[in-house]
A and B are shown apart, each in its own frame.
Chain A
């Protein structure tokens, strides 16, 4: 595997971590809000 290909793979892995990290963060914020604002108490 050449250097360019290795860098491309690394960049794609970082991208996945960033995107899924962002989604996990948004999920965490929403989950926190669900407890803090009493959305589970119907």
Chain B
């Protein structure tokens, strides 16, 4: 029996001809297969992490994909650079988490899961998701300015960000370009959002269990894709294909 798990490094060795050389075509095929195999794990892991509650289950699955890709890199195969993988999946998860979370707040704000988890989150860290929750003419968060950002950003940047991340992971030129665009949009979003949090800090933080620090600890993950901007502007764009 030749289970893939038991024989995962044997492919490259057995495929090589006796003189130890590998043709370009074989190398290309092996690289493509290795990338695909690692991506299967990373896609499943990222999807679980992008669905909020199953995030902890998704993390080890994702990390196995990272490990597989690292093994392929060390074996000399032409797989995607690790930095592209990490930035791509980070942005994909960011886009999925925000799309799902804010879609729940906008559309499914009266569901039991939302009234428990979202309002519970509000009571703990962010009063914007507790103060007059589900009491306005449209349900969900009632914090000043919050609903405008929920509505506007779901329809524009976060859907776009998921698409950009997929194109970026496929090493497409448009993926790189849209990644730059949406990362700059991220700068705009966070300048606006953090100002709004400070302006209405009395609504957001007064009376919550763990004010200010709790929100920042949690949200710093979403803010970090800023760090990709210097890389995106300085990377050799020829590695992304048309």
Residues of A that sit less than 8 Å from B by CB? 5, 8-9, 12-13, 15-16, 19-20, 22-23, 26-27, 29-31, 33-34, 37, 39-40, 42
Which residues of chain B are near A19, meaning CB under 8 Å? 187, 190-191, 226
Decide: B226 and A37 in contact? CB cutoff 8 A. no
Q: How far, in whole Å, are A5 and B206 apart by their CA atoms in the complex?
A: 47
Interface residues of B in 185-208 (CB under 8 A from A): 187, 190-191, 194-195, 197-198, 201-202, 205-208
Contact B233 A29 (CB under 8 A): no
Contact partners of A20 in chain B: CB under 8 A: 226
Q: Is the CB of A37 within 8 A of B197?
A: no
6 other contacts beyond A19-B187, A19-B226, A29-B198, with CB at 8 A cut-off? A8-B233, A9-B234, A16-B229, A26-B197, A34-B211, A39-B206
Q: Write the B75-103 contact mask toward A (1 if CB under 8 angstroms, else 0).
A: 00000000000000000000000000000
Enumerate chain B residues within 8 angstroms of A34, measured Cβ to Cβ: 205, 211-212
B112 at the interface (CB under 8 A from A): no
Selected from B211, B230, B234, the residue in CB contact (under 8 A) with A16 is: B230
Give the distance to chain A from B227, nearest Cβ to Cβ, in Å.
7
Q: Is the beta-carbon distance between A30 and B205 smaller than 8 angstroms?
A: yes
Residue B239, interface by CB 8 Å: no
Number of A-B residue pairs having CB atoms within 8 Å of each other in the complex? 57
Which chain A residues border B234 with CB–CB below 8 Å?
A: 5, 8-9, 12
9 examples of A-B residue contacts, CB within 8 angstroms: A12-B229, A13-B230, A22-B191, A26-B194, A30-B201, A30-B205, A33-B201, A37-B206, A42-B209
Q: Which residues of A contact B191 (CB under 8 A)?
A: 19, 22
Number of interface residues of B (CB under 8 A): 25
Q: Which of B187, B227, B230, B234 has the most CB of A within 10 A?
A: B230
A15 nearest in chain B by CB position: B229
Contacts of B9 in A (CB 8 A): none
How many Å from the CB of A8 to the closest CB on chain B?
7
* A9 to B235 alpha-carbon distance, docked (Å): 11
Within the complex, the shortest CB–CB distance from B181 to chain A, in Å, comes to 16
Bound-state CA distance A37–B211 (Å) is 11
